[in-house]
Amino acid sequence: MDQINIQFYKTKIGELLLGSFDGKLCLLDYVHRRMRVTVDNRIKKGLGADFVEKNDRILSKARVQLDEYLNGERTSFDIPLVLVGTDFQKSVWEALMTVHYGMTASYLDIAKVINREKAVRAVASANGANSINLIIPCHRIIGSNGELVGYGGGVPVKKRLLKLEQNNSGLSDNEKYNFIGGKNTKYDGVFFTAVKTTGIYCKPSCSAKKPKRENVIFYDTKKETAKNGYRPCMVCKP
Ligand SMILES: [Zn+2]
């Protein structure tokens, strides 16, 4: 029987399990996630192979790139992957890889990418079944209301990853300002727009009248925005 080389790897976002098969990465997942055994079994069965704790070139390379990513020094990965799942799951995971660093998308956005607009729940489920985390960026998927929804590594880790990416994607305040008011939801949940003259804060996609540049201040979290005395907008309900 063939083997899947696995390695456990402690990082600042939790302990990870990495696996490689035939020179490709098949697993990069949180050791303590729900359904750990189910996911492992799916991969073993799908590849017809068992786990063996052993290091190799691809696992070393993945760890190096992972460290660089977590240190904010890397915005994309260059590792060959083998996706283990149904055709539908694979199509969702491939669509997830089109959501770039520092961006977010909703389940509906992904459903549209694969031309299955009615299959939002199945998309959410395939997203949850992703077992090559970070490289297949399921952490960039947020609810259509901007909520962070669930994550295998926990919502605090998801928040931390989105914040890391936002800080490193180099979006200046002027770029944020140019982006707002376009009804595009890709930065919803990543930053909030507060208006000094009204005391109201919005999602970047809010369709209300665009405020003047000098009246706008940007915050990274809802909590921080509220702490500074701003109230949520009635139109976009951030
Ligand atoms: Zn608004």
In angstroms, the Cα distances linking 235 to 32, 49, 121, 143, 187 are 39, 53, 26, 17, 17
Q: Which comes out higher in pLDDT, residue 184 or 82?
A: 82
| Residue range 127-156, pLDDT digits in tens | 999 999 999 999 999 987 777 788 989 999
| Ligand 1 geometric centre to CA of 156 (Å) | 25
Q: Decide if 34 is inside a domain.
A: yes
Ligand 1 centre to CA of 220 (Å) is 16
Q: Which residues of 38-69 are buried (b: 16+ CB within 10 A; e: fewer)?
A: ebbebbbeebebeeeeeeeebbebbbebbeeb
Predicted structure pTM score: 0.73
pLDDT at 1: 53
Count of structural domains within the chain: 3
Q: What is the mean pLDDT of residues 20-27?
A: 98
Average pLDDT over residues 20-25: 97
Q: Which domain covers residue 137, as residue numbers? A: 87-168
Q: Does the residue 153 lie in any domain?
A: yes
CB distance 144 to 106 below 8 Å: yes
Do residues 112 and 156 both lie within one domain? Answer: yes
**What's the CATH number where 205 sits?**
3.40.10.10
Instruction: Tell me, yes or no, whether 146 and 196 share the same domain.
Output: no
Which positions are catalytic? 138
CB atoms within 5 A of ion ligand 1 belong to 202, 206, 208, 233, 235-236
**Which residue, 168, 193, 223, sits at the end of a domain?**
168
Residues for the chain: how many in total? 238
> Is residue 163 located within the same domain as residue 181?
no
Do 184 and 152 have their domain in common?
no
Of 23, 42, 70, the residue that ends a domain is 70
Does 16 lie in the same domain as 63?
Answer: yes
